[in-house]
């Protein structure tokens, strides 16, 4: 089968997966028998393009890098029309995350699933707010809804729990789920105040102009919700996860932690308690320097799964990046290909 791939959103991640699919075409065919074409791209900035025989990946990338609008294979279909009417078999939803409403992504995902097309996405909106609905739609229409990239980008997380760790009961998942705040806390240990570190993080592109989603813990809260519902089947809502960010951490707090041989980390955690209830939170915590999470510095992410059969399993890796997040999309495309 030749997979027909469509991309909604051609920003950082959209271009990352396109580069991977362009550069690894021969390898993916030889190693996994994975053959594909990108047949459609829908993007606010560059336009909607469609060619059922395959688009020119080089040209798309070149035009987007030059901030030029697409010129070849343009169509007048709206994005929702393109999603439903094209020959795409798997849509990658890669528009911006909106954790209030789910944003346009929710309607993109609904439309694709209703048309029996698979969805692969790194967008936390539909996954954190509407997971049950999306899974039910996928089941009804014999499609897949795969979201590996929503937590820790391409570092294997959800697929690890569902794949190699399957058979374990995972009672707790906790870790550093936001790279921006981990970078900021790491820098504060060098003696800089919160405002100074935030300005530096913004200059380096780690923090957005409006850093609220990261520093108030909302991004990590969405990831905790996704972990709770997927890894533990908890059936919780995003509002069930208590949240406190890092904005109140002072140089005095940093010094106090150092005095106690500890280190501040913004921890996202979900735990299945003995009475069957779920405890889920995001909050800054002082972690013992001997703990595996304490050594994770900079923009890196880390997560520990507490399991019944192999004890604690900790994964450490990137939580963002063009190619790193692009890889999360590839990993789910390969899952679909393997009929996992």
Residue ranges in contact with ligand NAP by CB under 6 A? 8-14, 42-45, 79, 94-97, 104, 122-124, 149, 153, 320-321, 325
Catalytic residue selected from 223, 265, 283, 338: 223
The number of C-alpha atoms within 13 Å of 186 and in the hemisphere containing its C-beta is 19
247 conformational bin, left if phi > 0, alpha if psi -120 to 50, beta if neither: alpha
Nearer to ligand NAP, 210 or 274 (CB): 210
**Min CB(171)–ligand NAP separation in Å:** 26
Nearer to ligand NAP, 105 or 267 (CB): 105
Residue nearest to ligand NAP (CB): 11
Give the C-alpha separation, 11 to 24, whole Å.
20
Nearer to ligand NAP, 65 or 274 (CB): 65
**Min CB(299)–ligand NAP separation in Å:** 10
Nearer to ligand NAP, 97 or 300 (CB): 97
Q: Which residues contact 261 (CB under 8 A, 6 or more apart)?
A: 288, 289
**Min CB(321)–ligand NAP separation in Å:** 5
**Min CB(196)–ligand NAP separation in Å:** 24
The answer to whether the CB of 306 falls within 8 A of the CB of 171 is yes
Nearer to ligand NAP, 92 or 257 (CB): 92
Look up 124 and say whether it is catalytic. no
**Min CB(113)–ligand NAP separation in Å:** 17
Tell me the catalytic residues.
223
């Amino acid at each position: 089968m030749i997979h027909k791939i469509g991309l909604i959103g051609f920003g950082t991640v959209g271009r990352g997966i396109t580069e991977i699919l362009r550069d690894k075409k021969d390898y993916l065919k030889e190693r996994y028998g994975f053959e594909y074409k990108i047949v459609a791209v829908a993007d606010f900035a560059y336009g909607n393009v469609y060619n059922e025989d395959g688009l020119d990946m080089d040209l798309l990338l070149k035009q987007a890098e030059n901030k030029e609008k697409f010129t070849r294979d343009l169509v007048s279909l709206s994005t929702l029309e393109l999603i439903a009417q094209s020959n795409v078999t798997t849509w990658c939803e890669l528009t911006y995350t909106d954790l209030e409403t789910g944003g346009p992504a929710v309607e993109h995902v609904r439309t694709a699933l209703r048309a029996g097309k698979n969805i692969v996405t790194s967008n936390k909106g539909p996954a954190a707010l509407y997971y049950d609905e999306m899974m039910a739609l996928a089941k009804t229409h014999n499609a897949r809804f795969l979201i590996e990239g929503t937590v820790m980008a391409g570092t294997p997380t959800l697929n690890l729990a569902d794949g190699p760790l399957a058979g374990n009961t995972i009672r707790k998942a906790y870790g550093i789920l936001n790279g921006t705040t981990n970078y900021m806390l790491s820098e504060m240990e060098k003696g800089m105040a919160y405002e100074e570190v935030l300005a530096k993080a913004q200059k380096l592109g780690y923090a957005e102009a409006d850093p609220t989603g990261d520093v108030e813990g909302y991004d990590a809260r969405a990831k905790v919700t996704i972990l709770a519902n997927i890894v533990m089947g908890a059936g919780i809502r995003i509002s069930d996860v208590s949240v406190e960010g890092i904005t109140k951490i002072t140089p005095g707090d940093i010094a106090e932690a150092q005095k106690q041989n500890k280190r501040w980390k913004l921890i996202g955690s979900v735990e299945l308690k003995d009475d069957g209830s779920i405890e889920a939170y995001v909050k800054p915590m002082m972690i013992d320097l001997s703990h595996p999470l304490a050594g994770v510095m900079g923009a890196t992410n880390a997560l520990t799964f507490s399991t019944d059969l192999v004890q604690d399993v900790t994964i450490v890796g990137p939580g963002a990046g063009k190619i790193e997040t692009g890889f999360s999309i590839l990993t789910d495309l390969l899952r679909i290909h393997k009929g996992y």
